[in-house]
Amino acid sequence: MVVSAHPVATAVGVDVLRDGGNAIDAAVAVHWALAVTSPWAGNVGGGGFAVVRLHGGQAMALDFRETAPGKASSDMFLGADGRPLHEVSTHGALASGVPGSVAGLFALRDSLGRLPMERLIQPAIDLARNGCVLSPLEAHEINVCMPMLQKYSTRPSAFTARAKWEAGDTLFQPDLARTLERIRDRGRDGFYRGETAQAIVHEMERGGGIITTEDLAGYEAVWRPVVRGQYRDIGVISMPPPSSGGMMLLQMLQGMEAMDVGAAGWQSPATVHRMVEVERRAFADRSSFYGDPAFTHIPVEGLLDSLYNLGRMVDFNPLHATSSATVRPGLPPTEHEQTTHFSIVDGEGNAVSCTTTLNGMYGNGVVVGGAGFVLNNEMDDFSSAPGVPNSYGLTGGEANAIAPGKRMLSSMAPTILERDGKLLMVLGSPGGSAIPTSIFQVILNVVDHGMDMQQAVSAPRFHHQWLPDTIQVEYDAIAAQDSLKLVNMGHRFKSRRAIGRVDAILRLPDGRLEGGADPRGEDSAGGY
């Protein structure tokens, strides 16, 4: 089974599985396809994370997060008055980190794949050259981002070929097709060296960016040990730093262990209250402890210690909200809104959970001249200054300060669950800071509330991230009378549109696979 953000990309993955590829092969092919079908988030100019669980139970994590260019500095997004220059960190060439996706896909295939890369990338080449028919949502998204793409790109592109796009129009991307062909023919050097690398550097020169040929040639994806935890009788496998999402998910699940969530009821005031309080504390820890493990010490074992997370809830009041102003990062014991996700399980039981991103919708608004792909704006995920929120409202500290070669902190949390040593669930989500809370809620929906996979993914969601001290809630997610009870307990609400877009697979006791494709987008599940 394959569950992804676009039905064409899902079909590409299923075809790879039918042709004898494993889940890793399918993941690589789906990623390439999403770079064409879903350029608002699917990418060759961004980065991401993947968690893989082989059928025998061995699990590993691949970090292909972008890195800060060699000329980056801790104050590069601060004005002369010391105040953050938010637009500079989110738009234009300077906002881009060194892309990691291409290196990540080669690391996945070369280490664990079965089919040749030529087979896995060709469907994306064909899609780029022959064109993709735009849905109403896709046409709308290009039109919304058109002014940004026109302002920050220094050359015309496929996206700006029309003044306005309509549903049913075909988007042809010949420049991207040629870029993918160079990768097919030359491997990762077809991106990080030669013509494509020069196109990126020339775009930097025209647009005031700082990525160099040395930055590109020196990029490497990194295999890391997964983080593991337990929620009731379920083993949880997720992404380690420089993503905060996996560890925060484990912290939040530990914070719910003491509550009979099923008996309290789905989205009841008591359940929502407890979930918000554990989210509040996990995000407070994120602000202080998380960053690139190559540059800062992260107390992983301490943050995942069950006694630590139990202690974090010692001041929990079941009748009243805790003010975020009084919640500080803890003291763990020392150790001695745009992204896309896909989940895949093959017939052997191998599983891949992969989240990849440009950060903002259409990244930094820069389409590389002559190469046809959008660059990321991941530099905004660093802390431009301690305590200053980024575009998702997340605050950070020195652990996530900008430094050359450093990987910026993320909230992505590709996750795999197992029960009794067997695969149970594969899931993940886009959504910036709401990624770990979206996954958190879907897990509770299945484990504690007994929902099937599609019900768990479709159910309305809410989100709290410590600061701002507000529960963000999808329309009609919490009943009016329950909202009033929570307000009387001291909570504040802000309604918003979709929170996350979870794509998930549940393995049933008889071995069948049940997909959950998030209706908040045009996501699809396919299998055989």
Q: Which residues are catalytic?
A: 339
Q: Largest Cα–Cα distance of the chain, in whole Å?
A: 63
Q: How many Cα atoms are found within 13 Å in the side-chain-facing hemisphere of 518?
A: 27
Q: How many CB atoms lie within 10 A of CB 318?
A: 10
SS3 (DSSP) at 26:
helix
Whole-angstrom distance, CA of residue 29 vs CA of residue 178: 17
Instruction: To the nearest 10°, report the CA torsion of 64, 69, 74, 78.
Output: -110
What letter represents residue 101's amino acid? Answer: S
- Is residue 371 a contact partner of residue 69, using CB atoms and an 8 Å limit? no
Q: Specify the residue for token string 């290009």.
A: 142
Compute the 3-state secondary structure of the chain and give helix, strand, coil in percent, each to the nearest 5. 40, 20, 45
Q: For CA atoms 16, 17, 19, 24, give the dihedral sign.
A: positive
Q: How many CB atoms lie within 10 A of CB 213?
A: 15
Q: 55 has which bridge partners? A: none
Q: For the chain, how big is the Rg over CA atoms in Å?
A: 22
Residues 6 or more apart from 354 whose CB is under 8 A from it? 27, 30, 31, 48, 49, 50, 51, 341, 342, 343, 344, 414, 428
What letter represents residue 11's amino acid? Answer: A
Q: How many Cα atoms are found within 13 Å in the side-chain-facing hemisphere of 110?
A: 11
Q: Which two tokens stand for residue 455?
A: 């019900």
- Is residue 356 a contact partner of residue 325, using CB atoms and an 8 Å limit? no
Cα 166 to Cα 33, 116, 141, 171, 338: the distances in Å are 22, 37, 11, 10, 22
Whole-angstrom distance, CA of residue 502 vs CA of residue 328: 30
Cα 17 to Cα 120, 191, 379, 428: the distances in Å are 11, 26, 36, 21
Q: How many CB atoms lie within 10 A of CB 479?
A: 12
My answer on whether omega of the bond before 242 falls inside 30° of 0, hence cis, is yes
- Residue 451: closest CA among 436, 441, 462, 464: 441
Q: Which two tokens stand for residue 155?
A: 């050359």
> Following DSSP, what letter does each residue of 141-189 receive, concatenated?
HHHHHHHHHHHH-SS--GGGSSSS--TT-EE--HHHHHHHHHHHHHTTH
Residues 6 or more apart from 331 whose CB is under 8 A from it? none
